[in-house]
């Protein structure tokens, strides 16, 4: 029986890749990748030759790919799962494949490493002992209000640091919704983590709004807040 390796890859800085990740990518019979072009570039930069052994695996085709990958694993060959950047299954495809492997008693081995969630959390200056990751902040106004209500309820019980992903073209609307729901609280906004233009902001929501209205952001964004603790 083969093994499924869940490999974390760099979120921006290539030097963050682990020696274990490199070795596993070299040894795996196949690599299941969210974007084979991006993974191909990563492998090239790492000096790893895997032509013909990359399997495209993304949200729209995973229902078809999962049985194929399970068959490969049952044949005794190892498969490495990677996402575009960071840790697979965290707001990226992979959970369903891991679940199917668990059902089939196929060994799943995590290869930990870069994660924008953890990088943002430790740099936010917010409490790290309890945190909740909500994935991407909802697009629709009604869904945003539901999430804000959930955060308020949870914060009364466990006082967690709340973490959201957001994309540049929605950051203004997201910040406006958070300000409306929570008031002008202190937050942390982390952008382009580990990259050349890394930005870590700790300020009131109104200050973040003013900044991003004047300076159109690029890259992945992480928003963090804690309703019980001040920065």
HSE-up (13 A, CA, CB side) for residue 141: 3
- Residues 6 or more apart whose Cβ sits within 8 Å of residue 4: 69, 73, 78, 79, 80, 81, 97, 98, 101, 106, 107, 108, 109
Extract the residue ranges of the chain whose pLDDT is less than 50: none
User: Tokens 């697979």 correspond to what residue?
Assistant: 88
Q: What is the reported pLDDT for 160?
A: 96
Taken in order of first residue, the domains within the chain and their CATH numbers are: 3-114 (3.40.1010.10), 117-225 (3.30.950.10)
Q: What is the reported pLDDT for 75?
A: 98
Q: What is the reported pLDDT for 229?
A: 66
- Residue 74 and residue 2 in contact, taking contact as beta carbons nearer than 8 Å: yes
Q: What is the reported pLDDT for 52?
A: 78
Q: Which two tokens stand for residue 217?
A: 């952001």
107-111 vs 161-166, strand pairing mode: unpaired
Q: What is the reported pLDDT for 231?
A: 56
* Alpha carbon distances (Å) from 181 to 96, 152, 220: 33, 9, 23
């Amino acid at each position: 029986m083969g093994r499924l390796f869940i490999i974390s890859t760099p979120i921006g800085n290539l030097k963050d890749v682990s020696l274990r990740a490199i070795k596993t990518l070299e040894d795996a019979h196949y690599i299941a990748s969210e974007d084979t072009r991006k993974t191909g570039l990563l492998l090239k930069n790492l000096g790893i030759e895997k032509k013909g052994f990359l399997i495209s695996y993304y949200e729209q085709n995973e229902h078809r790919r999962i049985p194929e990958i399970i068959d490969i694993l049952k044949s005794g060959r190892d498969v490495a799962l990677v996402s575009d950047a960071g840790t697979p299954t965290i707001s990226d495809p992979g959970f369903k494949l891991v679940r199917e492997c668990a059902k089939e008693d196929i060994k799943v081995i995590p290869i930990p490493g870069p994660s924008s969630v953890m990088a943002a959390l430790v740099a936010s200056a917010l409490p790290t002992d309890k945190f909740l990751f909500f994935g991407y902040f909802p697009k629709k106004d009604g869904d945003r209000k539901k999430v804000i209500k959930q955060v308020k309820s949870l914060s009364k019980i466990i006082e967690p640091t709340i973490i959201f992903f957001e994309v540049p073209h929605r950051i203004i609307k997201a910040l406006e919704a958070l300000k409306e729901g929570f008031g002008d609280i202190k937050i942390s906004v982390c952008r382009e983590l580990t990259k050349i233009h890394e930005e870590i902001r700790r300020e009131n929501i109104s200050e973040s709004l003013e900044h991003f209205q004047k300076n159109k952001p690029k890259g992945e964004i992480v928003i963090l807040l804690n309703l019980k603790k001040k920065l």
